[in-house]
Amino acid sequence: MRGFFIGRFQPYHLGHHEVIKNIIHEVDELIIGIGSAQESHTLENPFTAGERVLMIVRALEELNIDKRIYVIPLEDIYRNSLWVSHVCSMVPPFDIVYTNNPLVYRLFKEAGFKVKSTKMYNRKEYQGTEIRRKMLEGGDWERYVPKAVAEVIKEIDGISRIKEIAAKDV
């Protein structure tokens, strides 16, 4: 059985990490879709798809998973009624969808898929918005992401990117 899990991963954090640790036991293979792949260099979406691929792949290595994992960037299609078909054309066939996003849930259900809600681990602390705010304001963002992710963000000088694009005037 192949599962599908999607997120924007801006950045990939410990909340995502916990979800994957849980669902990996229920599937034979897992597809991780990176949503809004075309977005980058904004406060909401600071990292490119390629940078997010790097974060996820390196973070997963820590988990020593012995199942096949596909990490696939997915550009937005800007039309909800086409989105499920778009996903299905870009990734290998899958049997079950894991999500806690209500729109993703509804769209896959209308298309006849089996969909399961993921319990987000400590939702209050482990969410992208909060972590990006900490990056911008100089807070301790590192404790909310896997160590490998923090390294990638430093390698690409990600914090200075966020701070610069947030500036009012240069």
Nearer residue to a second copy within complex by CB, 83 or 141: 83
Q: Smallest gap, in angstroms, from Cβ of residue 138 to a second copy?
A: 17
Q: Which stretch binds a second copy (CB under 8 A): 14-22, 103-111, 133-141, 142-150?
A: 103-111
Is residue 19 a contact point for a second copy (CB under 8 A)?
no
CB atoms within 10 A of CB 25: 8
Is residue 70 a contact point for a second copy (CB under 8 A)?
yes
What is the token pair recorded at 168?
């009012």
Is residue 169 a contact point for a second copy (CB under 8 A)?
yes
Is residue 82 a contact point for a second copy (CB under 8 A)?
yes
Q: Which stretch binds a second copy (CB under 8 A): 7-15, 16-24, 100-108, 142-150?
A: 100-108
Q: What is the dihedral of CA 67, 68, 72, 77, to 10 degrees?
A: -80
Is residue 86 a contact point for a second copy (CB under 8 A)?
yes
What is the token pair recorded at 46?
């600071």
Q: DSSP states of 90-142 as a string?
A: HS---SEEEE--HHHHHHHHHTT-EEEEPPPTTTTTS-HHHHHHHHHHT---G
Is residue 139 a contact point for a second copy (CB under 8 A)?
no
Pick from 37, 135, 145, 148 the residue near a second copy by CB under 8 A: 37
Is residue 18 a contact point for a second copy (CB under 8 A)?
no
Is residue 117 a contact point for a second copy (CB under 8 A)?
yes
Task: Give the separation between CA 166 and CA 138, rounded to whole angstroms.
Answer: 13
The count of chain residues that interact with a second copy, using the rule CB under 8 A, is 55
Is residue 159 a contact point for a second copy (CB under 8 A)?
no
Residue 148 makes CB contacts below 8 A (sequence gap 6+) with 55, 58, 59, 61, 62
The DSSP call for residue 8 is -
Is residue 53 a contact point for a second copy (CB under 8 A)?
yes
